[in-house]
């Protein structure tokens, strides 16, 4: 019996896919192993196949690509101020 891992980071799961793919494990078996350790709602079989294709096409980065869209307004200074206010309110 395996100990399940809850709430893995996306890059962790993709790293596992990349590793198993490098060992020539078939996508369906990769998916079964992921579900066994991380749980049923982790990733579909189709998404595992998509990542396997990308890694076979020489992709090595397991992190999300930058996307266009609305920029984040949470800058470091703002985050620091919010954290400071939270600490003040806890006293």
Q: Which domains does the chain have, with CATH numbers?
A: 7-64 (1.10.10.1450)
* Beta carbons within 8 Å of 6's beta carbon, 6+ residues apart: 38, 39
* Beta carbons within 8 Å of 64's beta carbon, 6+ residues apart: 10, 11
Mapping DSSP to helix (H, G, I), strand (E, B) and coil, where does residue 89 land?
helix
Q: What is the pLDDT of residues 37-82, one digit of tens each?
A: 998 888 999 999 999 999 999 999 998 887 777 776 667 777 788 8
Phi and psi based region of residue 58 (left: phi greater than 0; alpha: psi -120 to 50; beta: remaining): left
The rounded distance, in Å, linking the Cα atoms of 90 and 47 is: 43
Q: What is the pLDDT of residues 12-43, one digit of tens each?
A: 999 999 999 999 999 999 999 999 999 888 89
């Amino acid at each position: 019996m395996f100990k399940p891992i809850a709430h893995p980071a996306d890059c962790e799961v993709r790293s596992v896919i990349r590793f198993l793919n490098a060992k020539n494990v078939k996508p369906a078996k990769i998916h079964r192993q992921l579900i066994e350790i991380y749980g049923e709602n982790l990733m579909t079989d189709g998404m595992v196949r998509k990542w396997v294709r990308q890694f076979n096409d020489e992709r090595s980065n397991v992190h999300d690509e930058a996307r266009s869209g609305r920029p984040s307004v949470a800058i470091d200074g703002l985050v620091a101020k919010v954290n400071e206010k939270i600490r003040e309110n806890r006293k």
